[in-house]
Structure formats: C-alpha cells, structure tokens
C-alpha cells in the first residue's frame, strides 16, 4: 500500500511539473492569446532578474523589482539563431490599449540562448505602467529564426527612446517569417514610485 501511494505521488508530481512547464493555458486564460499572438508557445521561457526574482506565468512584480535587464534562457537547438521580444499589450491600460503594443526589448540573431551575443534592436526598458492604469501584462516571446541570420531593418532604439508604441510582435514575426514562438513567459505589474524615474530617462526622440 505504501509503495502504491508513493507511486501515485510521483505520477502526480510529474503531471504537475509538465503542466507548469507548458505555458499554453496561462497564455490563453490571461488573454495573451489572442491579444498578442494567435498561438501559445509550448515551452516555458526562464526569466530571472538580478534581485533573484523570477517570472512565472502571470505573477505580479513591481517596476522597481524589474528595473534592470533580466537574464533569459530556453532550450535552444545547436547552431540555431533566435529572436527575443518583450512587449506590453496594455498600453496605456488594459481597458484602453490604444498604444498596443509597447515594445520593451527586442534582440535578434541570438546564438542559442546567449542573449548578450545577439543583435540588440531595442534596448531593455523597465515596466512603467501609468498611475491608475491597473495591472499590465509584460510578455516575453522567443522565436527560432528559420534559415539562420536575419537582416532586420527595424530602427535601433536606445533605452532612452520612448517611441515604441503600436508595436506588434505578431506582425514582426510575419514580416521576418519567424513562425510561432517556441518559448514564452509573462508577469504583471502596476504603477509604483519608480515609474517616474523611467519616464525621466525617456528623452531621446530620434
């Protein structure tokens, strides 16, 4: 009887682990499908901030906690190149997303999951939801690039450039034939006292 109980507990544990590693349900329940993408990624993207905090399919973090660029990893294929996107579909708010989406980070031609060796098109900017706008979803997506290196003609943007509204991750994927995302994750955040500091740095309009 004891052996049977241990066996059942192991099976339940494996099932729970499999569910936690598959982001599909969370992406659909939180409206990321269809607000950002038409089809959920099947693999969970690992995202952790220098503070040690990790994102986990919709957990709430603060702008203060995510102010520094995170480390990101996924199960990459040998010799493959990838594109990483971080986007906010709730700009300026989820009830009035007239600037959907706001691009927070874009890196292309990443060898494996070595983000630092990729081509940074838009530098990382922390979450900065306007005061009173409620929770925003911050979505990370990774696409495998077919055929190797891609020549992106998107304008390079520093972390001081605020002209990032009305970006569409799905449209970028269509433009460069990236297909569906192979991995993803997301967190939620709302205004805190760090947000004005983010706005103060957004001075480069070129």
Q: Is the pLDDT of residue 123 over 80?
A: yes
Where do the structural domains in the chain lie, given as residue ranges?
Answer: 2-201
Check residue 105 and give its pLDDT: 98
Fold classification of 2-201 is Phosphatidylethanolamine-binding Protein (3.90.280)
Cα-flanking dihedrals φ and ψ of residue 2, to 5°?
Answer: -65, -40
pLDDT in tens, 21-39: 679 999 999 999 999 999 9
Cα(107)–Cα(168) distance, integer angstroms: 15
CB distance 117 to 166 below 8 Å: no
Cα(154)–Cα(156) distance, integer angstroms: 6
Q: Is the pLDDT of residue 19 over 70?
A: no
- Whether the upstream peptide bond of residue 71 has omega within 30° of 0, thus cis, is no
Q: Residue 85 contacts by C-beta under 8 Å, 6 or more apart in sequence?
A: 103, 105, 106, 139, 140, 141, 142, 143, 169, 172
Cα-flanking dihedrals φ and ψ of residue 103, to 5°?
Answer: -80, 120
Ranges 19-23, 50-54, 145-149, 159-163: which has the least confidence: 19-23
Q: pLDDT tier at 11 (50, 70, 90 boundaries)?
A: very low
- The first and second tokens of residue 204, run together, are 């480069």
Q: Is the pLDDT of residue 124 over 60?
A: yes
Check residue 1 and give its pLDDT: 55
pLDDT in tens, 182-204: 999 999 999 999 999 999 999 87
Check residue 191 and give its pLDDT: 98
């Amino acid at each position: 009887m004891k052996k049977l109980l241990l066996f059942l507990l192991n099976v339940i544990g494996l099932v729970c682990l499999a569910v936690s590693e598959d982001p599909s349900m969370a992406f659909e329940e939180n409206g990321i499908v269809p607000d950002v993408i038409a089809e959920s990624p099947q693999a969970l993207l690992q995202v952790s901030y220098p503070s040690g905090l990790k994102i986990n399919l919709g957990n709430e973090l603060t702008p203060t906690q995510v102010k520094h660029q995170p480390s990101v990893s996924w199960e990459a294929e040998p010799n493959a190149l990838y594109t990483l996107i971080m986007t906010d579909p709730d700009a300026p708010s989820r009830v009035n997303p007239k600037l959907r989406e706001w691009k927070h980070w874009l890196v292309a031609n990443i060898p494996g999951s070595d983000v630092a060796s990729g081509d940074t098109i838009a530098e990382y900017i922390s979450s900065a939801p306007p005061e009173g706008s409620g929770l925003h979803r911050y979505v990370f997506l990774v696409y495998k690039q077919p055929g190797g290196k891609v020549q992106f003609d998107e304008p390079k943007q520093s972390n001081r450039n605020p002209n990032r509204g009305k970006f569409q991750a799905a449209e970028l994927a269509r433009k460069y034939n990236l297909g569906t995302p192979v991995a993803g994750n997301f967190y939620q955040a709302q205004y805190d006292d760090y947000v004005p500091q983010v706005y103060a740095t957004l001075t480069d309009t070129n």
